[in-house]
């Protein structure tokens, strides 16, 4: 069954080099014209991800479109796809295992249930790839190693100079021991520390930037799957200026901080009473959203009090849209 799936993938990949639904027709003067009915790019994207279920649904269960050559476009695509399937092992799999629902009264149509059964039949079975649990000792070693690791992404639309980045960042961080930096993909890097103190120092000292682009640092969770990480949030220390004395309490500081974003920490100052030139809170900012202003009706009388926010270590942001 593994070979059937591999054969299906190979055929569909080779078919991609052609126009998915192409038919030669003649114009009024007799010249032959190649007419592309549809490229079905979205279906191919799903095939790239090995998402056979979504791709099959898009190929076989789309609503009818305009007619080409006197035949509905989706029927041409179904016929074309069925042509590629005829010689594949998947047909043998269906016949051998008797997958229900694949035969329809209309040979050009496969319903969603039949497609689901097809995908189940083509999936790898336990006997072909047995599931083995990782040994406890190996798992514990991996977790210890993961606890000393960070994953970071430089939020730049362009590819950064990786060599310069790897050479510069350790000098900026000034850790007690060396940090191993490895390229994962694009502007994504992994940082392996020798001790927890250095790792904590880097996290608390951020946010960091390179070449005027902010860098988002994450602590890997669970098994540390990179593709599941969302590089969208970064923690900032924010100074709130022009705060009335009435608002200089811990509870109000938390209230004001939550108006900005999710609060991580409050700096209550040496006297621990939050009284000073400004209030300082550490909040988590979504880098995809504009920075917020802080306007509060302190006395609940309809009078607006605008407070100035100063984001520490903010390298650069757009004053037009407010984004980092």
> Do 31 and 71 lie in a common domain?
yes
* pLDDT for res 230: 86
> Do 167 and 197 lie in a common domain?
yes
Compute CA 157 distance to the chain's CA centroid, rounded to the nearest angstrom.
15
For residue 312, what is the enclosing H or E element?
Answer: none
> Do 115 and 41 lie in a common domain?
yes
Give the CA count within 13 Å in the CB-facing half-sphere of 189. Answer: 24
Within a domain: 17: yes
Pairing of strands 262-267, 32-38: unpaired
Within a domain: 278: yes
* pLDDT for res 20: 40
* pLDDT for res 139: 77
* pLDDT for res 143: 80
Within a domain: 131: no
> Do 112 and 148 lie in a common domain?
no
Within a domain: 51: yes
pLDDT band at residue 245, thresholds of 50, 70 and 90? confident
Tell me how far CA of residue 149 lies from CA of 53, 116, 181, 202, 209, in angstroms: 36, 40, 10, 11, 19
> Do 57 and 111 lie in a common domain?
yes
The rounded distance, in Å, linking the Cα atoms of 134 and 125 is: 19
> Do 257 and 209 lie in a common domain?
no
pLDDT digits (tens, 9 = 90+) for 299-320: 677 777 778 888 888 876 544 4
> Do 33 and 113 lie in a common domain?
yes
| Chosen domain end from 201, 228, 255 | 228
Tell me how far CA of residue 285 lies from CA of 237, 279, 323, in angstroms: 10, 17, 10
Within a domain: 298: yes
Domain that holds residue 217: 136-228
pLDDT band at residue 182, thresholds of 50, 70 and 90? very high
Tell me the mean pLDDT in the region 229-241.
87
* pLDDT for res 277: 79
> Do 306 and 239 lie in a common domain?
yes
Within a domain: 89: yes
| Chosen domain end from 122, 151, 169 | 122
Within a domain: 35: yes
> Do 196 and 256 lie in a common domain?
no
Of 123-127, 148-152, 170-174, 235-239, give the lowest mean pLDDT range: 123-127
Reply yes or no on whether the pLDDT at 279 is more than 50: yes
Of 28-37, 226-235, 250-259, 314-323, give the lowest mean pLDDT range: 28-37
pLDDT band at residue 200, thresholds of 50, 70 and 90? very high
What totals of helices (H) and strands (E) does the chain contain, helices first? 10, 14
Of 63-67, 129-133, 221-225, 258-262, give the lowest mean pLDDT range: 63-67
Tell me the mean pLDDT in the region 267-284.
74
Number of domains in the chain: 3
Compute CA 297 distance to the chain's CA centroid, rounded to the nearest angstrom.
39
Within a domain: 161: yes
| Chosen domain end from 163, 196, 228 | 228
Query: Closest Cα partner for 247 from 283, 282, 276?
Result: 276
pLDDT band at residue 275, thresholds of 50, 70 and 90? low
Pairing of strands 262-267, 188-192: unpaired
Of 81-85, 156-160, 252-256, 300-304, give the lowest mean pLDDT range: 81-85
> Do 189 and 238 lie in a common domain?
no
> Do 199 and 279 lie in a common domain?
no
Of 80-94, 111-125, 147-161, give the lowest mean pLDDT range: 80-94
pLDDT digits (tens, 9 = 90+) for 34-89: 434 344 455 545 444 445 555 555 555 555 444 444 444 444 444 444 444 443 44
Q: Could you tell me which residue, 16 or 122, shows the higher pLDDT?
A: 122
> Do 143 and 86 lie in a common domain?
no
């Amino acid at each position: 069954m593994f070979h059937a799936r591999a054969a299906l993938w190979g055929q569909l990949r080779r078919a991609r080099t052609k126009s998915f639904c192409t038919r030669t027709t003649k114009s009024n003067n007799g010249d032959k014209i190649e007419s592309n009915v549809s490229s079905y790019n979205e279906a191919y994207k799903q095939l790239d991800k090995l998402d056979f279920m979504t791709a099959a649904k898009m190929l076989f269960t789309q609503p009818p479109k305009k007619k080409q050559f006197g035949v509905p476009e989706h029927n041409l695509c179904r016929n074309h796809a069925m042509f590629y399937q005829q010689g594949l092992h998947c047909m043998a799999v269906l016949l051998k295992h008797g997958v229900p629902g694949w035969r329809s009264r209309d040979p050009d149509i496969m319903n969603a249930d039949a497609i689901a059964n097809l995908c189940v039949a083509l999936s790898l079975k336990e006997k072909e790839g047995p599931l083995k649990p990782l040994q406890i000792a190996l798992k514990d070693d991996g977790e210890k190693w993961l606890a000393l690791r960070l994953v970071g992404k430089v939020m730049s639309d362009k590819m950064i100079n990786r060599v310069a980045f790897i050479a510069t960042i350790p000098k900026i961080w000034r850790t007690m021991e060396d940090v191993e930096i490895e390229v994962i993909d694009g502007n994504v890097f992994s940082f392996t520390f020798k001790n927890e103190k250095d790792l904590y120092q880097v996290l608390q000292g951020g946010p960091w930037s390179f070449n005027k682009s902010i860098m988002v640092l994450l602590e890997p969770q669970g098994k540390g799957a990179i593709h599941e990480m969302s590089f969208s949030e970064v923690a900032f220390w924010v100074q709130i200026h022009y705060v009335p004395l009435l608002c200089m309490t811990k509870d109000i500081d938390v209230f004001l901080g939550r108006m900005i974003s999710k609060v991580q920490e409050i700096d209550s100052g040496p006297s621990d009473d939050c009284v000073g030139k400004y209030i300082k809170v550490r909040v988590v900012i979504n880098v995809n959203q504009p920075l917020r202003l802080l306007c509060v009706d302190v006395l609940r009388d309809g009078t607006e009090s605008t407070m100035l926010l100063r984001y520490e270590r903010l390298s650069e942001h757009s004053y037009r849209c407010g984004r980092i």
